Structure 1
Amino acid sequence: MPGPGPADGAGADALSPARRAADLDAVAGAAVDVVVVGGGVTGAGVALDAATRGLSVVLLERSDLAAGTSRWSSKLVHGGLRYLAHGELGLARESARERAVLMRATAPHLVRPLPFLVPDAAGRDVTALAELGGRLGDAVRASVPGGRRSLPSTRRVDAAEVARATPGVRGRRGGVVFWDGQLVDDARLVVALARTAAACGARVVTGAAVRAVDGADVRVELDGGEVLTLRARVVVNATGVWAQRLAPGIRLSPSRGSHLVVPAARLGSPSAALTVPVPGSRSRYVFALPQPGGLVHLGLTDEPVPGPVPDEDPAPSEAEVQQLLDTVNRVLVDPLTRADVVGSYAGLRPLVLPASAGTGPGGATADLSRKHLLEWDGPVLSVVGGKLTTYRAMAADAVDAVVARLGRAAPRSCTARLPLVGAAPRVALERVEAPARLVARYGTEAPAVAALGTEPVVDGHPETVGELRFAVRAEGARTVADLLDRRVRIGLVPADRERAVPVAEQVLAEEL
């Protein structure tokens, strides 16, 4: 199996402009084992799993890697405490297992332990329940391979520790801390998966929309208008909330999860995720999640989305904005206002309707299971549902089904042990000679990124021109949106994005 190569745009993992052109030439009229439709975390995971088992793979994405739901998450790799509240022990164990895989083996450079603090200011009954849930989560974590030592244990903390970790909380009272995993960037995980798949032989083509599947023929329209056809023995439909376009029989009930972006200073620059229960719920919380660059992401909602799913990015509703602010303000000394919101985003969850449900979308999406579904329709296998944390398990299940359909003798999935591009043990990452911020985003590739330029894209912000150049040379970025909205994430704050556009345009002019 080929491994990740040098990060100079010429390695086997580099999604460079030249690589895309070569892959397009090779794909047109070709016959392959598997065509994966959708370049989010599920599709990239399927492409990697299939390629590591020796199948010929083409991944087609209509826009850009992580352009859909996969970049709009809470950026958490979580152990599934909510699933325990719903009695879904199996799903909680799967989440805890996959979290341990990411933190210890496949992407330790992208995932870090994050404390979640539930303050007594929210009510002692609330923290008592949080402590019970946290200890149950600890027990589940200890029951899965690699989980026991992956995170600290749940514990009560005193008022002084609450003040240090979440300075914006009112009152001098204690609280409860439990731990989970945080991704430095959800879109970066998807890019790492796609590049690792490319290193293992997959062809990854963005700007390629699948318009029809007719038997073995897959009709593809490129973003320049050109149409090509290739033949696939199996098509994996990993398009999330858009899955019904290739598989009309799939029954989904999408829900919207929204976040607000606020300056961390408005909350006292917390080091822990402030956790406040949604009024009237025993399993839903609003989180104030500290982020790199002096920001906090405030989420998460769970609102049903009726009707056809549009191609455009969703946006938080006014009611969701107010709900998020009202909930977190219950425990803050200095309440947040809408004037504090410097950005916002929303994503759509592809929740699967159970067979027993009615004909319309469900109204209580928060109660729908996050289990994934595999369903065949002729040569098309749809994999929907699930969540970012369990992408690898979803992908392994899907490729198991593909291998069985092909009648191929292929090895079992090895992706639980396969480091993604840039990954290394934490002790090795600590020795990488590059700024810590770059190591947290690029792992062992950080020196190569730093060598491409350290000047800031926007004055006063840490993102560098070198990151933009690396995104074009190695990460498949082709547009301003690719660069600012999915590679360095400046686009999460519209005012910063506006200032960054001329720099991104200049880099593209020089690199393409």
Structure 2
Amino acid sequence: MRADRTQSRYQAGALSPQRRAADLERMRTEHFDVLIIGGGVTGTGAALDAASRGLKVALVEARDYSSGTSSRSSKLIHGGLRYLEQFEFGLVHEALTERGLLCHRIAPHLVHPLAFLAPLSGRVWQRAYYGAGLALYDTLATALGGSSGRLPLHRHLSKRRTRRLFPGLSSQKVLGSIKYFDAQTDDARFVTTMARTAASYGAAMATSARVVGFQRDARQVTGARVADMETGDEFDVSATTIIAATGVWSNDLSGMLGSQVGLRVRASKGIHLVVKRSAINGDSAIILRTSSSVLFILPWGGHWVIGTTDTDWSLDRDHPAASAIDVAYLLELANGILERPLSIDDVEGVYAGLRPLLSGEDEDTSSLSREHAVVEPMLGLLLVAGGKFTTYRIMAKDAVDRAARRLHGVPASRTADIPLLGADGYRQAWAGRERLASRTGVHPGIVEHLLRRYGTLAQEVLALIAENPKFGEPLAGAPEYLAAEVVYAVRNEGALHTDDVLTRRTRVSIETSHRGEKSVEHVVALMGDELGWDKATRDNEISHYLSRVAAERDSQRQPDDATADAARLGAEDVRVGLNTPV
């Protein structure tokens, strides 16, 4: 019976093209308790929170799930170790509690513990200072019965032990370390899975649906005007309350309302490099405090992710650009601690994202608060901003709690106890992965790959391979992925365009030196067959994707933000009506 209920939820959460059409029709004709603007981690989290309380929910996103900040993070679920230096103990404890929930209850298939080394230069005060901070970190994780207590506690390591765990660290500069644990996730896959989970509770979900105005009755907001970016059609959505989870775009609401929204949100740019796994000899993650930010060197499948920067950004927010100076800065920081220096030839991919920070007057972005706020600038409109990926559930809960004040009999949030799709039975499936491989005739390595990306939803991907053996073939130019994953992204995960698949459903655009150029024709062939694309549409998809890659490469050769931004603006959006980069 439980298996039947789980399968029913999976089917109800399929974000197919047919489901999008049906949900858009619902938005045109029905009245909703809550309309959510924004398909990032906070918006999809709010959709799940509200729908699981029994509210009637709609969500619209101008591009794709997690196409903004939520797919361009450091891929970490963490408490924010450096926030201890700012005495934000409550924020760290909250984040560590969420880390525990995500690892052990909500998304064990998507959030995995990750060992970190904090290298030491040998000064006694440094070991004592960092050791005290990590002891407090562990204490906050377990305080008040926090769920994170199941991650191992920190340990002090000698130089010899450190070198054994991470031979690639400089023998001259690293004289020991402290080992501790946080967690890692594929941020874009997490958001897509949460969107599907919200849909399984009845939320109407639509990407390529942009809010272009608000409906008002005197001083009250009663709905929104939405443009379908696939067709250009516009329609009105009626709702009792609107929650805008628009991140660095929050200030844009002022123009639609004709008044200030009540929050100032500043954008801080963080860039990351993806390098070959063979370029660095080690297995754990590295964290190093720098003069202006934190350096992460993180294992990422067959790659490493190196980041991040933390600089003010006031240019194009739809697709922030990394400049040559950004890339050189991170390489220099990493080379300061590695035995073998990295060069630009080791870099496979580069991505840049913008963090939405609640702004004061003149603070540096590195010192701005990562806390969040929910404000109501106009009756019927709520704005949630700030925070960070790890605490999305708290942000979503607070926003829906405020929305619930205008309704009657709304129960409390349930999301602390709701596993995302694919989490049910994951540990048993992982333990039985060899039997699953034998039963399906698929290589055990492929089964492990699918389980870590889809959890028990991997059964659906394997069913596609059984349906058509060609779907079991590797993706052209990206053998880490299967053709079946492209088909699955279209049928179940709301993918509408090539960029959705190569950049977010998979990470081919940052994990290969060709940035997806060698994969795009294969992806377009698979998507085109599923979506009924004609030759002109297929050619257009290929052209837009290649133009985007060329513009990104060009921007990363520019000397500063202004010229990098200008270069990146050379690529048009494949979605109708969006005259900004993809």
TM-score range, shorter chain: over 0.9
Aligned to 1:77: 77
- Taking the aligned partners of 1:340 and 1:418, their CA distance within structure 2 comes to 41
Task: Read off the aligned partner of 1:275 and give its amino acid letter.
Answer: I
SS at match of 1:462: strand
- Taking the aligned partners of 2:330 and 2:144, their CA distance within structure 1 comes to 34
Show CA shifts across 1:5-44 (max 9, x none).
4598xx1010001111111122113211111000000000
Q: Does 1:302 align with 2:321?
A: no
What's the offset of the Cα at 1:458? 2.9
Aligned to 1:197: 198
> Superposed, which structure 2 residues align to 1:490-501 within 5 Å?
490-492=508-510, 493=512, 495-501=514-520
Task: Read off the aligned partner of 1:498 and give its amino acid letter.
Answer: E
Q: Percent identity?
A: 39
Is the Cα contact below 8 Å between 2:347 and 2:513 reproduced in 1? no
Is the Cα contact below 8 Å between 2:477 and 2:518 reproduced in 1? no
Is the Cα contact below 8 Å between 1:121 and 1:170 reproduced in 2? no
- Taking the aligned partners of 2:267 and 2:513, their CA distance within structure 1 comes to 26
Aligned to 1:289: 298
> Superposed, which structure 2 residues align to 1:313-392 within 5 Å?
313-354=319-360, 357=361, 362-378=362-378, 379-392=380-393
Is the Cα contact below 8 Å between 2:212 and 2:225 reproduced in 1? yes
What's the offset of the Cα at 1:126? 4.0
- Taking the aligned partners of 1:437 and 1:124, their CA distance within structure 2 comes to 43
Is the Cα contact below 8 Å between 2:122 and 2:176 reproduced in 1? no
Over 3 Å counting, the alpha-carbon distance change for 1:53 and 1:188 in structure 2 is: same
Moved over 6 A (4+): none
> Superposed, which structure 2 residues align to 1:89-104 within 5 Å?
89-104=89-104
Structure with the bigger percentage of helix: 2
Show CA shifts across 1:279-337 (max 9, x none).
x36xx420111101x11010011101135x532x1122333222211112111111112
Q: Does 1:444 align with 2:463?
A: no
Show CA shifts across 1:375-434 (max 9, x none).
112221000000100000100010000001x13211100000000000136632423525
Task: Read off the aligned partner of 1:191 and give its amino acid letter.
Answer: T
- Taking the aligned partners of 1:363 and 1:137, their CA distance within structure 2 comes to 26
2:232 to 211, 222, 225: 225
Is the Cα contact below 8 Å between 1:288 and 1:296 reproduced in 2? yes
- Taking the aligned partners of 1:437 and 1:122, their CA distance within structure 2 comes to 39
What's the offset of the Cα at 1:132? 2.0
Task: Read off the aligned partner of 2:453 and give its amino acid letter.
Answer: R
Over 3 Å counting, the alpha-carbon distance change for 1:49 and 1:257 in structure 2 is: same
Is the Cα contact below 8 Å between 2:101 and 2:148 reproduced in 1? no
Over 3 Å counting, the alpha-carbon distance change for 1:300 and 1:221 in structure 2 is: same
Over 3 Å counting, the alpha-carbon distance change for 1:83 and 1:3 in structure 2 is: farther
Give RMSD over aligned pairs: 1.9
- Taking the aligned partners of 1:49 and 1:427, their CA distance within structure 2 comes to 25
- Taking the aligned partners of 2:36 and 2:513, their CA distance within structure 1 comes to 33
Show CA shifts across 1:102-140 (max 9, x none).
011110101111111122348665444322221110000
- Taking the aligned partners of 1:44 and 1:240, their CA distance within structure 2 comes to 13
Aligned to 2:161: 161
What is the total number of aligned residue pairs between the two structures?
A: 494
Is the Cα contact below 8 Å between 1:126 and 1:277 reproduced in 2? no
Aligned to 2:545: none
Higher relative contact order (CA 8 A, sep 6+): 1
Is the Cα contact below 8 Å between 1:94 and 1:390 reproduced in 2? yes
- Taking the aligned partners of 2:324 and 2:149, their CA distance within structure 1 comes to 42
